[in-house]
A = this chain, B = another copy of it.
Amino acid sequence: MTNIYATIERPTLLLDAVRAQRNIARMALKAQRNRLRFRPHFKTHQSAEVGEWFRAVGVTAITVSSMTMANYFAAHGWDDITVAFPVNLREIAAINALAARVRLHLLVENMAAVDFLATRLTAPVAIWIEVDAGYRRSGVAWDDGAALTAVADRVAACDRMQFQGLLTHDGGTYAARTHAAIADAYATTVQRLNQARRVLAVHGFQGVELSIGDTPACSVLDDFGSVDEMRPGNFVFYDWMQVEIGSCTWEDVAVTVACPVVAIHPERNDVILYGGAVHLSKESLRRADDSPSFGAVVYLEEDGWSAPLPGAWVRSVSQEHGIVHADDATFAALSSRIQVGGLLGVMPVHSCLTADLLKRYLTLDGATLTMAPFPNSMSSQLVASG
């Protein structure tokens, strides 16, 4: 182990900067080859320093999921920002303040929001209509032409709103487990977006852009069809869920949580870690026998971490505890390499949530990278002035 491990006292999010930068470069190149605008989602890393790695490959436009993040990244020099969440009308003051300073893109998906913005906006914003292409989270249903044209007409009638295009998040690819299934889901989504665009074209709207953004499709596809913008986010770090989906290999995963070992129980093949729900999150995947896994288990090594151990997983988490369980052979190997007071690595199921909880990164060469410093409930104005 290198020196960085000796300094670790508590659950700590390790970041392999080489891998993250490789993930960024690969996706930027793919966007360029497809002549797509690359507008990466920064909700995964939430870090000004990591943002600079994107700037280094030419990224100028970004996506975030809250006004808090938009203000944070604006304060770090980003001036073309999409808030990819149905506009929260209660933040109109923060929206107007930021729209006066940067090119701010908002999502709308209902007339109530558009009507409100039409009367309350004091600065120009770019508007995307969020389309629900089948995921059933938020968005105008892709086949509801009447709603799409009504919202687009209302946007077009307001000087302060510049209609940009149709945007979707295809959460359906997260259920896929093969490249073919991801490609099928993506093809369906793009076909539906194009149908919605045709409805708007018939209605008189020309030059309507399409924006897509899920990490599985952006990772495994080479041809994106007739879309204009990609907004993947998770790919910067990936995680155990993306390995399971097939978006990446474990060698692409750029984050792992170093957890202190506090107990070892050979009588039940369990290792108890300091690293629980407030560090890893309660996100889980189902194992083959339908039991949950809250993370993959790795050894920490001099230059990062090992491959996930096939016979070990985090079987449960409570507030501070994580319990690793292992089959007999794996436990025998594990218990010969670790001890109480040592460290064991957990590759998180969902890196976005783990990063949001741990709020900072320790790179393998010992640097600490910070994240948006304010808690989730802080008002966006306070962040803006911070």
> Chain A residues in contact with chain B, CB under 8 A?
8-13, 43, 65-68, 85-91, 94, 109-110, 112-113, 116, 136-138, 141, 171, 260, 262-264, 267-268, 270, 272, 274, 277-279, 281-283, 316, 318-321, 323, 339-341, 343, 352-353, 356-360, 375-380
Contacts and interface: CB of A to CB of B under 8 A. Distances in A.
A270 B380 contact: no
Nearest to A169: B318
A interface, by DSSP: helix, strand, loop or mixed?
Answer: mixed
Nearest to A283: B282
Contact of A356 (B171, B278, B321, B339): B278
Contacts of A88: 9-10, 260, 262, 274
Contacts of A89: 260, 262, 340-341
Nearest to A272: B138
Contacts of A85: 262, 274, 320-321
- How many copies of this chain sit in the oligomeric assembly? 2
B320 A65 contact: yes
Contacts of A43: 319-320
A272 B109 CA distance: 11
A88 to B, nearest CB: 5
Given A272-B138, A283-B277, A352 B319 contact: yes
A41 to B, nearest CB: 10
Most buried by B among A12, A341, A356: A341
A13 B136 contact: no
Contact of A320 (B66, B113, B380): B66
Contacts of A321: 85, 137-138
A13 B377 contact: yes
Given A12-B377, A262-B86, A65 B319 contact: yes
